[in-house]
Amino acid sequence: MHVVTVIGNRPQFVKAAAVSRALRAEHDELLVHTGQHHDDELSTVFVEELGVPRPERELGIHGGTNTEQTARMLAALGPLLATERPDVLLVYGDTNSTLAGGLAAAQARIPVAHVEAGMRSFDRAMPEELNRVLTDHLSDLLLCPSETAVANLEHEQAAGRIELVGDVMVDVALLFQPRALADTASLHRAGVEPGGYVLVTAHRAGNVDDPGRLRLLVDLLLALPVPAVLPLHPRTRARLEAAGWLAELEAAPDVRLQPPLGYLEFTSLLGHARAVLTASGGVQKEAYLAGVPCVTMRDTTEWVETVAAGWNVLVDLDATAAVAALDRRPPAKRPPLYGDGRAGPRVVAALAGVPAAR
Ligand code: UDP
């Protein structure tokens, strides 16, 4: 089978780490990196660390509005798919790269397999939600991380074949967590002790693009009762600089700004944290897997099971609610929610059942 996989941003490199090697053991894969995340620290670091194959094609497309970026990706992917004529096109998650890959293939009548299908926040104001819904409804094979995702797709009467495979990020977390936890160099560098800090990520457009929301985020960080370690995404850094608030955070003694980190360093900081404060879907899930309470700076989440299990609290950008949530004791139980760490091989097996190109 000839598979073209389209990835473009940080979590997609992590997800590809669970699938690409297993895929290449049985099939022929061409990995296309759209360039959506072009900084090395958000992309190539994972090639080296997690063993993701080096992308065979780099489209170098980044910047612009979501619409422009998606359009440029579509324009580049059309000719590429016409030449490659893969048996299946594989995409992950909910980014512009996901939608562009899926749509370019569907229009060329190439079957589409979507990993992380069926996730919903039910908030159409999120560009990611539009990308998810549209990709699911043009896909032939819908590979779901959870039973909730399966139920969402059944409810929407999605046309593709639905399979519950588990979450590919769980594969990666289970594989790398022990090694990551054993190395605490990233804690020393940030000047924190195990259990004595909150690990923060904050880069969702809805939290940083609007200066009013960004200010709420800064105030929330300044209100935290324990040191906060914050690997700063380039988007957030740029927005803070533009608003003139970066220096304020740099000067705050209990906010430890870091560059974006590699997966192992980040996973070590996450596993040893007292709690995680984030708006990232992947990080909410990784906190659950690591048994670290999570406070989510959104008012919706796709990872609803983590909230129902009592390990995740949604606070949006409300500082008082965030401080109260950080004070909660974690529940006694942490049932396995997102699979057994063998989602990658199940994705590969499912591809064999994809309908032939039309
Ligand atoms: N991550 C990382 N270094 C960091 C921050 C995050 O390796 O400094 C990893 C994290 O472990 C997770 C993924 O990147 O696997 C999440 O990416 P991101 O938060 O960019 O994605 P989102 O979930 O917001 O789409």
* Res 49: pLDDT: 93
The two three-digit tokens of residue 299, written as one number: 């008012």
Average pLDDT over residues 213-228: 98
Average pLDDT over residues 242-252: 97
d(CA 89, CA 356): 12
Confidence of residue 48 (pLDDT cuts 50, 70, 90): confident
Tokens of 136: 């699911």
Are 83 and 89 spatial neighbours (Cβ–Cβ below 8 Å)? no
* 105 CA from centroid of ligand 1 (Å): 27
Residue nearest to atom 17 of ligand 1 (CA): 11
CA distance 248 to 180: 31
DSSP one-letter code for 192 = -
Q: Summarize the chain as % helix, strand, coil (round to 5).
A: 50, 15, 35
pLDDT tens-digit series, residues 17-43: 999 999 999 999 999 999 998 788 888
Residues 129 and 63 sit within 8 Å (Cβ to Cβ): no
With a Cβ cut-off of 6 Å, ligand 1 is lined by 10-11, 14, 201, 231, 260-261, 263, 266-267, 280-283, 286
Is the whole-model pTM more than 0.85?
Answer: yes
Whose CA is closest to atom 24 on ligand 1?
A: 280
180 confidence band (pLDDT: 50, 70, 90): very high
What are the residues facing 162 on neighbouring strands? 142
If one residue of 174, 201, 276, 292 were mutated to test the ligand 1 pocket, choosing by the most ligand atoms within 8 A of its CB, it would be 201
Instruction: State pLDDT tens for residues 107-147.
Output: 999 999 999 999 999 999 999 999 999 999 999 999 999 99
Please give the average per-residue pLDDT across 87-116, as a whole number. 98
DSSP state letters, 40-75: GGGTHHHHHHH-PPPPSEE-----S-HHHHHHHHHH
**Average pLDDT estimate for 326-331:** 94
Burial annotation 58-93 (CB, 10 A radius, 16+ → b, else e): ebebbeeeeeebbebbbebbeebbeebebbbbbbbb
Q: Higher-confidence residue: 262 or 48?
A: 262
**Catalytic positions, written as ranges:** 203
CA of 319 to the centre of ligand 1 (A): 23
Q: What does the buried/exposed string (b/e) look like for 110-142 if buried means 16 or more CB atoms within 10 Å of the residue's CB?
A: bbbbbbbbbbbbeeeebbbbbbbbbbbbbbbbb
Index of the ligand 1 atom closest to the CA of residue 281: 23
Q: Is the pLDDT of residue 357 over 80?
A: no
Report pLDDT for 358: 59
